[in-house]
Amino acid sequence: MKHNREYEIAWQGLKTGIHTIQYDINDKFMLDREVDEGFKDWNVRVILTFDKKTNFFLLHFDIDGNVTVPCDRCGDDFRMQLWDEFDLVMKLAGEDVEEIEDDDEVVFIPRGETVIDISPWLFEFVMLSVPLQRIHPDNPDGTSGCNPKALQLLNKLSEPGDEAPKNDLWKGLEALKQKSNKRKTK
Ligand SMILES: [Zn+2]
């Protein structure tokens, strides 16, 4: 991966205390890091609060923005709002830190490393801020915001009566599989 100074924090030069850094994340940043999920037009602002303590750093990522994603139900693209926050603790290797709570995500930084590249976490947290279920929000009148033609088709497919042949097919396949397994064991 490319070396990018924009996302490096030279922690040794920082005073102890809180530092706030803003990152504007776009397609260039996200697509360079191999996203292959059909997400595009990334427009995300990440505010990183970097709290430098003596032997460790507390990082808080505030994510706010939007991205175009394909709808899980109808397949059409729509604009999805992103909003999330993440905490991360960075600890200098070889130091004991009592203040850290068990459920915090802790990363170890070798002492000799004078700069920390934040880009892998930016990428990870922005990806994690995309909800697992991505479906068109409803219209203001309460109807589905999905493509009406796709919805009609989906409704037809899910009508009862269509399921029975599918089940029979599965049973047939299972029977076949068992037969061939028996043959193998002989
Ligand atoms: Zn949809």
pLDDT tens per residue across span 93-125: 776 655 555 566 888 888 788 899 999 999 999
| 152-182 pLDDT tens trace | 988 888 876 545 555 555 555 555 555 555 5
Question: Strand order of the sheet with strand 77-92?
Answer: 17-26, 40-52, 56-70, 77-92, 106-109
Q: Is residue 119 part of a domain?
A: yes
Question: Ligand 1: distance of its center to the CA of 77 in Å?
Answer: 8
Are residue 71 and residue 158 in the same domain, yes or no? no
Q: DSSP strand E in 53-120: where?
A: 56-70, 77-92, 106-109, 115-117
Residue 32 sits in the same domain as residue 105: yes
Predicted TM-score (pTM) of this structure:
0.76
Rounded to the nearest angstrom, the distance between the alpha carbon of 69 and the centre of ligand 1 is 10
pLDDT band at 53 (very low <50, low <70, confident <90, very high): very high
Whether 80 is in a domain gets the answer: yes
Residue 88 placed within a domain: yes
Domain holding 164, by residue range, is 148-185
| 10-40 confidence digits (pLDDT tens) | 988 899 999 999 999 999 999 888 777 889 9
Q: Which residues surround ligand 1, an ion (CB under 5 A)?
A: 71, 73-74, 136, 146
Distance (angstroms) between ligand 1 centre and the Cα of 70 equals 8
Residues 6 or more apart from 148 whose CB is under 8 A from it?
none
- Read off the amino acid at residue 128: L
Whole-number Å distance, alpha carbon 79 to ligand 1 midpoint, is 11
> What distance in angstroms lies between residue 83's CA and the mean position of ligand 1's atoms?
20
Cα dihedral sign, 168-169-171-176: positive
Q: How far apart, in whole angstroms, are the C-alpha atoms of residue 87 and residue 51?
A: 11
Q: Is residue 138 part of a domain?
A: no
**Is the domain of 156 the same as that of 97?**
no
176, 122: one domain: no
Inform me whether the pLDDT recorded for 133 exceeds 70: yes
* CA 127 / ligand 1 centre spacing (Å): 20
